[in-house]
Each structure stands twice: as C-alpha cells, then as structure tokens.
C-alpha cells in the first residue's frame, strides 16, 4: 500500500458520524443513545481531569475500526496467526514513531494500559519476593508503583517513599529506603505531582544500589514530547507511559528500553517483549496500535510543541489565579499540566464536596489526597486539576482566569458543609448535600457560565450522533 500523507494535523472541528455509528443507531438504539449522551456531556462541560484529553478526529478514525477484526499474537514478522501483513506494518510504524519521539532504542506498543505495562515491567525484571519501590499513592504516586492494595504488592515486597511537608518528593528518604531495602525496581513518576520529576537524583540512587530505574511518564509524556519537561531518557533504564493524557491520544501504553537500560542489561528488550507476550497478554488490539501510531505522529509535529507550551502556561495561570483567590495549591504552584488544591484551610475531607459541586456546574475534576492528609483516600482534602483537555479545545489565559473565578465561587457556596466523623453517616449526608446544592440559584448561574465557555470552544462540531 502506498503511504499517503496529509497536511491536516489536528482537528476537533469537522467530526462526522461514521458508518459504524449509523448502524449502531439502527441496531442498538439504547447503546447508541448513551454514546450520543456522552458526546453531549463532553461538548457542554469542561474537563479539568488531569488524566484526560480531547483527541483529534484523525486519532479517532485510526481507532475503533476494522482493525479490531484481526487476531495477531506475537510481534511483527513473528506472529502466531496468518494474514498480518498490514497489522505488522501498523505495529512497526507505531514502534518506529515511539523510538523516534522518545529517542529510545526499543519500544513495545502492545500493553493494554498503564497499570498493565507497569506490571509487565515487574514480570520482566523481578522474581516473586523481590522489593519494588515507588512514590506512595497518597503522596501523589500511582497505584501500580507498589500500593498495598494491588496485585504487585502481594507478589513483591514494597517500599514507598513520600513527599516532604512542602509537597516536593523527599529524595533523601528515597535514598535511605533504597539503601535499606535494596529494591530491584525503583519508580520515578507520579499521578498527582505538579513539579519537575527528579530523574537525575533518582538515577544516582538507583545506580548506587544496582536497581533498575523505571520512569513512568504517563502524565507528562506529552510535555516531554513537546519539549517543555525534561526527558528521563538519559537517566532511566526503562520508560513506561500511557498515550491518552498529555500525549493527547488514544488510550493505550508503551514500554521503552533506553540506551542506559540496554547498557545495564543487553537482554532488556527481549525481557520486556517476553513479559508482554506471552507473559501477560496474547492477541494485540490492533485498532489501539493504529491509534497509538496516529497519536505519536501528531505529537512529533511542531504544532504539538506549541500545544505542550500552552498546557503548562494555562496550568500556571490557573494555579496563580486560584492562589490569588486564597485557595492553597500544594507546593505553591506547578511546573506541569496539573495542580492539587489543598482545601484543609476550610476543613479536612472537603475534596468530595468541591468535586461534586463542580460536576453540578459542568466542570469535571477529581478529589485527591494532599501531603499529610488526615482524611481518607475516598474522602480526601484536596482536588486535582489539569489543563490538557481545555488547552486541546483552544482555551488560553483568559478562560483559565475565568474558570478560576468560577471554582472560587463554587468553593464559597459549599464551605459550610462538613464530612461527618462517623463513616456510616457520610452517604446520607452527601445525598442531602447534593439535594440542597443542586437547587441553589447561584449553582444554576455558574452552570450557565460554564456552558457559555464550553460552547465557545466546540468539539467534534459536525459529528451528528
Ligand atoms: N493514572 C490515573 C490518573 O492519573 O487519573 C488514571 O489514568
């Protein structure tokens, strides 16, 4: 097949209803209705969820198509099913683009998600009973980095490092824990951390104890690709990432071996590939692979660098505006796309009230623990915000300041609510809270303001569902 190139790089403006969706409308109106409703929700609300983005029409087209018909276990050129000529080309293209974008000698684009990719790293590097070390979930780390409730923590011993009172990663604690526990794998990378990741410092810790340093760049991959966040490629042995956060692509994941990694262990690429297939997965999800290829193509364009710069600028503007309204932000600001509001100055456990009130007015966010939180992970005292999706819609400083004012007004409206001490009373109290707040005329006014902003930045404008 002759490759075609297109001048169109990123568009949210000209979506259309695909043949597949037209058939679905006729054959399964109930399911079609839910998809249609979800499009309506995405159009009319504003996502400040740091893990979300709005993908282009091109990436949408690369995903969710006839590629899903094909079975293809194994790797390009070494498959366990016939008929994979084009699937091999697609996977090889995705691999080539990942290697070029992140400057690594090896990439595996088959992992079905970020947590799966990270588990595959353990399979590649650890024996049961080995020690793994990562940033604690309540300090902004990710579940898959050794949190006690996960499968990995049942199989491996887990040591967790934390952030200091000022919200920055406690590098000295990580060093002490590494020397004491001699982990096989050390993670650097977070889900709720707004500052530059200390790749260099963690590389010296890992090298000192002979551990593999794995950088999980799921949140900041797009910022690295766009040149506004330092790359861990010099420091880590392995890099994992999802492809749907700041990278602005389809949901999927990639595991990469760096030159440093291959220097430590020349078998690293093989170990990774064997851990993915046949270790944990079998047949590939080929439409997802095509979506990853399309995502990486867009992320290599000069326009993507502008996007990444604007994501960070928007996050800085939003956090400064919130701070000026008296809202505390963990670490006092941000270097990346996200920030964590610390609501303890109102009272602990406020995250759920603010999250729910903002959802009522059409802004989606997620409640989050803050460093030293005395409340529980389900009812934490903070709220995580991110600017990847609003930036993809074209919003800039003016909208960030407007959104900050709307958040301030919403927080003011619900300050009187208090999470009951008694866990059994919480569900009923929250029901009363919802019933009370939804009727407040000020909430309705804020909802209208949010709708006006969302309407000004339309998505998939001509898509008719
Ligand atoms: N890693 C989780 C998050 O940051 O929200 C899920 O993608």
CATH code for the domain in which residue 361 is found = 3.90.1150.10
- Give the SS3 label for residue 105: coil
Beta-bridge mates of residue 254: 241
Of ligand 1's listed atoms, the one at least distance from the Cα of 191 is: 4
Q: What is the distance in A from the centroid of ligand 1 to the CA of 59?
A: 20
Contacts of 99 (CB under 8 A, 6+ apart): 105, 106, 107, 256
Q: With helix as H, strand as E and coil as C, how does 363-399 read?
A: EECEEECCCCCCCCCCCCCEEEEECHHHHHCCCCHHH
User: Has residue 97 been placed in a domain?
Assistant: yes
Q: Give bridge partners of residue 255 from the DSSP assignment.
A: 108, 240
Specify if 426 maps to a domain. yes
Nearest to 340 by CA among 138, 146, 54: 138
Ligand 1 atom showing the smallest separation from residue 242 Cα? 7
**Does the residue 58 lie in any domain?**
no
Q: Is this prediction's pTM over 0.85?
A: yes
Per-residue pLDDT 10s for the chain (465 aa) are 444 444 455 677 655 555 456 788 899 999 999 999 999 999 999 999 999 999 999 999 999 899 999 999 999 999 999 999 999 999 999 999 999 999 999 999 999 999 999 999 999 999 999 999 999 998 999 999 999 999 999 999 999 999 999 999 999 999 999 999 999 999 999 999 999 999 999 999 999 999 999 999 999 999 999 999 999 999 999 999 999 999 999 999 999 999 999 999 999 999 999 999 999 999 999 999 999 999 999 999 999 999 999 999 999 999 999 999 999 999 999 999 999 999 999 999 999 999 999 999 999 999 999 999 999 889 999 999 999 999 999 999 999 999 999 999 999 999 999 999 999 999 999 999 999 999 999 999 999 999 999 999 999 987 877
pLDDT of residue 241: 98
CA–centroid distance, residue 439 to ligand 1 (Å): 32
Q: Based on the domain organization, do 262 and 309 belong to the same domain?
A: no
Measured between alpha carbons, how far apart are the two ends of the chain, in Å?
A: 32
Overall number of domains in the chain: 2
Task: Give distance in angstroms: CA of 412 to centre of ligand 1.
Answer: 28
Nearest atom in ligand 1 to the alpha carbon of residue 143 is: 1
Confirm if 8 and 58 have CB atoms less than 8 A apart: yes
In this structure, the residue with its CA closest to atom 7 of ligand 1 is 51
Q: Are 293 and 90 in contact (CB under 8 A)?
A: yes
> In this structure, are 291 and 316 located in the same domain?
no
The kind and range of the H/E element at 79 are strand 78-79
> From CA 319, how far away is CA 60, in angstroms rounded?
31
Question: Measured from the CA of 142, which atom of ligand 1 is nearest?
Answer: 1
- 112 and 227, same domain (yes or no): yes
Print the domain residue range for 270.
Answer: 66-299
Q: Domain of 223: which CATH number?
A: 3.40.640.10
Residue having the nearest C-alpha atom to atom 3 of ligand 1:
51
Residues with CB under 6 A from ligand 1: 51, 142, 191
Q: Whose CA is nearest to atom 1 of ligand 1?
A: 191
pLDDT at 13 (0 to 100):
62
Strand order in the sheet with 328-329: 328-329, 338-342, 382-386, 366-368
The verdict on residue 24 lying in a domain is no
Atom of ligand 1 nearest to the CA of 192: 4
């Amino acid at each position: 097949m002759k490759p075609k190139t297109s001048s169109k790089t990123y568009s949210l403006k000209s979506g259309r209803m695909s043949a597949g969706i037209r058939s679905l409308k006729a054959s399964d109106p109930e399911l079609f209705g839910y998809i249609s409703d979800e499009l309506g929700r995405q159009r009319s609300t504003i996502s400040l969820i740091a893990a979300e983005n709005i993908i282009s029409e091109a990436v949408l087209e690369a995903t969710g198509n006839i590629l899903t018909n094909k079975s293809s276990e194994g790797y390009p050129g070494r498959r366990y099913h016939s008929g994979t000529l084009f699937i091999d080309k697609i996977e090889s293209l995705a691999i080539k683009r990942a290697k070029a974008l992140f400057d690594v000698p090896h990439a595996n684009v088959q992992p079905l998600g970020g947590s799966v990719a990270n588990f595959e790293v353990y399979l590649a590097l650890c024996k049961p009973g080995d020690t793994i070390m990562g940033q604690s979930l309540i300090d902004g780390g990710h579940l898959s980095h050794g949190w006690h409730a996960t499968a990995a923590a049942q199989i491996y011993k887990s040591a967790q490092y934390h952030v200091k009172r000022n919200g920055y990663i406690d590098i000295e604690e990580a060093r002490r824990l590494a020397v004491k526990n001699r982990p096989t794998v050390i993670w650097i990378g977070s889900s709720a951390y707004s500052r530059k990741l200390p790749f260099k410092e963690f590389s010296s810790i890992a090298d000192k104890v002979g551990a593999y340093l794995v950088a999980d760049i799921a949140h900041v991959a797009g910022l690295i690709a766009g040149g506004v966040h330092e790359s861990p490629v010099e420091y880590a042995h392995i890099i994992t990432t999802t492809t749907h956060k700041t990278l602005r692509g389809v949901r999927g994941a990639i595991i990469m071996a760096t030159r440093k990694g291959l220097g430590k262990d020349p078998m690293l690429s093989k170990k990774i590939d064997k851990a993915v297939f046949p270790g944990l997965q079998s047949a590939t999800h080929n439409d997802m692979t095509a979506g990853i290829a399309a995502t990486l193509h867009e992320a290599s364009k000069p326009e993507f660098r502008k996007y990444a710069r604007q994501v960070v600028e928007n996050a800085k503007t939003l956090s400064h505006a919130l701070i000026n309204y008296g809202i505390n932000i963990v670490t006092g600001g941000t270097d990346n796309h996200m920030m964590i509001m610390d609501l303890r100055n109102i009272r602990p456990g406020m995250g759920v009230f603010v999250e729910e009130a903002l959802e009522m007015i059409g802004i989606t966010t997620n409640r989050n623990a803050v460093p030293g939180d005395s409340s529980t992970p389900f009812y934490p005292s903070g709220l995580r915000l991110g600017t990847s999706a609003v930036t993809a819609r074209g919003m800039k400083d003016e909208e960030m300041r407007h959104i900050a004012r709307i958040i301030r007004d919403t927080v003011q409206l619900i300050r009187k609510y208090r999470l009951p001490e008694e866990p059994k009373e919480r569900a009923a109290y929250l029901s009363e809270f919802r019933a009370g707040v939804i009727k407040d005329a000020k909430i309705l006014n804020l909802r209208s303001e949010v709708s006006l902003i969302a309407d000004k930045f339309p998505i998939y404008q001509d898509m008719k569902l």
